[in-house]
Structures are given as structure tokens and as C-alpha cells.
Amino acid sequence: TQLLEQSPQFLSIQEGENLTVYCNSSSVFSSLQWYRQEPGEGPVLLVTVVTGGEVKKLKRLTFQFGDARKDSSLHITAAQPGDTGLYLCAGINTGTASKLTFGTGTRLQVTL
Amino acid sequence: DTGVSQDPRHKITKRGQNVTFRCDPISEHNRLYWYRQTLGQGPEFLTYFQNEAQLEKSRLLSDRFSAERPKGSFSTLEIQRTEQGDSAMYLCASNTGGRNIQYFGAGTRLSVL
């Protein structure tokens, strides 16, 4: 059973548009990570957020961790075709040996 | 640093056959994880090792599944009497204890006919 729900499940936009992906849970996590996965490859870590309310920026990507550490969002500004992929959030709890609980995933397609 | 490697990349088998996958982690990493990912979904945790000790197994890991990491280096995941529901991508990841960054392999895609 997945404890992290992502929305939307699928997003198809044109180059230059902005988008936001949401990751919601009823559980509190000690930290949350965002990954991007391309077809036929494993997930690659984008960012880790640890503190409630934390905002991190990675070029055109902005990540936010909710105050209660139950939810997170990923905002992409001026999307590019290279942003296409499956975006996954993953929660970590202290004392679980870094075991990841992944979200349901958001598939993003950016077209010219 | 060659990254995490998995072999084979693809496996097609008939229902009822046994299959074995191999994962070679990054050399200095003492923790190794297995996840299963079905199409369009996020990966689900199966099991993890610290060195050669298997410290946790998910309820998803039925009796037909067994994982080993005999010398604390590479790991194998065996599925006995495969079923069509076992069709998925099996991902391996490794990291160093105390760090929350996991490095994933490219996975083994299993198709059970």
C-alpha cells in the first residue's frame, strides 16, 4: 500500500509552461526526497528536504516541504522537453535505515 | 565509481519457472536495497541488507522470494515458481549507512508469460 499520493498522475504540457506536482500523505516523514526516472533507468535523486516549511531551488525546479512534514510540492518553471520523465516523491523515517516509501508517481511529458 | 549494476536488464520467463537477478552495489556501500516497480507506479520496498545481514523484509516478499548477500558485496534476488503478477521492474539501490542518498541501478525488467 502506497502511503504517498501524487497528483496529477499524468501531465502533458508545452515547452515554456509552468507546472506543479503535489505529494500528499497522512503520515509524517522525517525527510522527503524527489526523484526523476527516465524509461529503462532507475530513479535519480533531485533533492532532499528535511525541515518543515523548507524551500529548495534547483535551477528551474522549486521544492517545498509542508510545515507538518506530511506533504511536498515540486514546481517547474518554463518546462523544457528535457524535463520529461516520471517524478517520484519518497518519504524517509528516522530509524528505518533510509528505507524509501515512494509516492504513486507523476508522469510529465513536455512537447515542443 | 561504476555505479550500481544489475544483471540481466531484461528477463522473459514462463510461468512456474525460477529466475535469479544479480545486483552489484557501489563498492564501498554497506547497505543494499531491493524494490519492485510495476508499470507507471512508484517503486515498493522489498528488503534491505546491511553488509551480509538481511535486516528487513516487506510483506510483499512472499515465500517464493529469497534474497542473499553472502559476502556483503553483490546480492541476488531469486523468485521461485514465477507468476504473471511477478512481472515488474526489480530495482536495486545502495548507500552508506548514515546517509539518506540511495543510488539506483537501471533495474531488471521481468516479464512472466
pLDDT at site B1: 55
If interface means Cβ-Cβ distance under 8 Å, which residues of chain A face chain B? 2, 4, 6, 9, 31, 33, 40-45, 48, 86, 88, 90, 92, 97-105, 107
Which residue, chain included where needed, has cell 545486483?
B23
pLDDT of residue A94: 74
Is the predicted pLDDT of residue A2 greater than 70, yes or no?
no
Q: Are B94 and B29 in contact (CB under 8 A)?
A: yes
Who wins on pLDDT, A2 or B79?
B79
| Contact residues on chain B for A6, CB-CB shorter than 8 A | 42
Contacts of A41 in chain B (CB under 8 A): 106-107
Q: Residue A46 carries which DSSP code?
A: E
Q: What is the rounded CA–CA span in Å between residue B29 and residue B51?
A: 8
Residue B82 in contact with residue B19, Cβ under 8 Å?
Answer: yes
Q: What angle do CA B6, B32, B65 make, to 5 degrees?
A: 75
Whole-number Å distance between alpha carbons of B65 and A1? 19
The 10s digit of each residue's pLDDT in A63-99 is 999 999 999 999 999 999 999 999 999 998 877 667 8
Q: Confirm if B23 and B32 have CB atoms less than 8 A apart.
A: yes
**pLDDT of amino acid B72:** 87
User: How many other C-beta atoms can be found within 10 angstroms of the C-beta atom of residue B111?
Assistant: 13
Answer for the pair B3, B103: CB distance below 8 angstroms, yes or no: yes
pLDDT at B96: 85
Count of helices and strands (H, E) across chain B: 0, 11
How high is the pLDDT of residue B100? 78
Instruction: Provide the residue-wise pLDDT of chain B in tens; the chain has 113 residues.
Output: 579 999 999 999 999 999 999 999 999 899 999 999 998 889 999 999 999 999 999 988 889 999 999 988 999 999 999 999 999 999 999 998 767 789 999 999 999 99
d(CA A4, CA A106): 12
Interface A:B, Cβ pairs < 8 A: 65
CA distance B92 to B94: 7
